[in-house]
Structure 1
């Protein structure tokens, strides 16, 4: 976040410098407000560009075995251009390399999910999915495992059968 702020400020300063050079080369024919307006518009453009490119930059740096399962696009009244073209503000990724299966419970899988947000810290959440009954349980304190690996004391929640994260987890072999 800090580096993006610095980049935005330096982009504005650079554009103001370009306008000042052009003004000097044209013999001072540009209005006095041209440099600050150009700097401000450049800073807005850089900010918008960084918002729209965040998802691509982040997913390009995901390690092998971590795949995006679901995205959430953002639209906001204070960013009216997002109604024309929303951008990805957050997403859920599945760590396929963390997959654990139990031969005694073939429909259940344990896996790590990563929750990415544009201005939020990364969250890693271990979960269990029941692919046959379309349900999910987060593996937090208080969850126990039985002798055959069955999960007890878990808060199972139903999810839609077409939930993209459920489908991504259950398709991992």
Structure 2
């Protein structure tokens, strides 16, 4: 996080230098306030670029076997530009290497890890073990080391759900 602060400061200094150069080239006809205005715009521009590049940066860090199954985008009133182009604030990923397939009673059941990435002040990553019955499209979380199923949280997915397609069609 300290590196982003340093980068924002240098972006502001660079933009202030551009403002100063424009003022000098205009024969000092431009007002003096253009220099701090350019500095502020440079820092704001860096911050906007960083926020929108977060999702692509995280995707590049994932292994090739990871599949994004859900992307959450949001608009925030303190970031008015997000109403024009919503910002990615979180996403869920399934890794093929974490899947274990079992055939029981003629039905395929897949146990997998679902990773959740959230963009906050400091990025947050959480994971949960899940079990999916591919025949009935039912999915439920497994809890603890013993992987006890939590039946009260079982839900049924649609056949076009990205999570179902990633688990059952590619497993």
- Same fold at TM > 0.5: yes
The 3-state SS of whatever aligns with 1:139 is strand
More off after superposition, 123-132 vs 6-15: 123-132
Q: Give 2:165's match in structure 1, choosing from 137, 150, 167.
A: 167
Q: 2:154 aligned with 1:157, yes or no?
A: yes
In structure 1, C-alpha distance between the alignment counterparts of 2:80 and 2:26, rounded to whole Å: 36
Report the Cα offset of residue 13 of structure 1: 1.3
| Gapped regions of structure 1 (runs ≥ 5) | 145-151
Deviation digits for residues 111-149 of structure 1, max 9, x if unmatched? 1111111123111222111222222222222745xxxxx
Q: 2:4 aligned with 1:4, yes or no?
A: yes
Report the Cα offset of residue 99 of structure 1: 0.8
Distance change in 2, residues 1:71/1:62 (3 Å): same
In structure 1, C-alpha distance between the alignment counterparts of 2:145 and 2:59, rounded to whole Å: 33
Deviation digits for residues 46-76 of structure 1, max 9, x if unmatched? 1111111111121122112111111011112
In structure 2, C-alpha distance between the alignment counterparts of 1:21 and 1:81, rounded to whole Å: 28
The residue that corresponds to 2:68 in the other structure is 68
The residue that corresponds to 2:47 in the other structure is 47
Using structure 2 for the length normalisation, give the TM-score.
0.85
Distance change in 2, residues 1:77/1:159 (3 Å): farther
The residue that corresponds to 1:111 in the other structure is 112
What RMSD over aligned residues (CA atoms) do the two structures have, in Å?
2.1
| Gapped regions of structure 2 (runs ≥ 5) | none
- The number of aligned residues is 166
In structure 1, C-alpha distance between the alignment counterparts of 2:3 and 2:70, rounded to whole Å: 27
The residue that corresponds to 1:138 in the other structure is 141
Using structure 1 for the length normalisation, give the TM-score.
0.84
